[in-house]
Amino acid sequence: MILDKFYYRPLPDHLTLGESEIEGHGVFAAEPLEQGSDLGPTHIKMPLYKGFVRTPLGGFLNHSEDANCMLENVYEWDDYLVFHLFATRDIEEGEELTLNYDI
């Protein structure tokens, strides 16, 4: 196993994809997650593309007005921004991770 933080993995081991009751497929906790946990990168602002690129994690997050996660900008250099997903409360194994798209 490579321990380099820049080694790319589509989803961290503590997350999995599954069928969502909200819409299509979603991201689910494969183990209990604590409030404040950094769940990984979701969106990268890339000036070359004049917008955001979603990672697999970011591409499968569904909307909920009672979301259990939020985005936070964790890296910034030049005009690049990297956003990570953080748990806003404890999340149970098997629970879908959600964002409030309106915030």
Q: Could you identify the residue written with the tokens 């997650």?
A: 33
Whether 5 has a pLDDT exceeding 60, the answer reads no
- Tens-place pLDDT, residues 61-96: 999 999 999 999 998 888 888 999 999 999 999 999
Query: Which is higher by pLDDT, 17 or 51?
Result: 17
What is the model's pLDDT at position 1? 41
Q: Which of 13-17, 51-55, 88-92 has the highest mean pLDDT?
A: 88-92
Query: Hey, what domains does the chain have and what are their CATH numbers?
Result: 15-99 (2.170.270.10)
Nearby residues of 76 by Cβ (< 8 Å), 6 or more positions away? 82
Per-residue pLDDT at 32 exceeds 50? yes
Please name the helix (run of DSSP H) or strand (run of DSSP E) that holds residue 97, with its range, or none: none
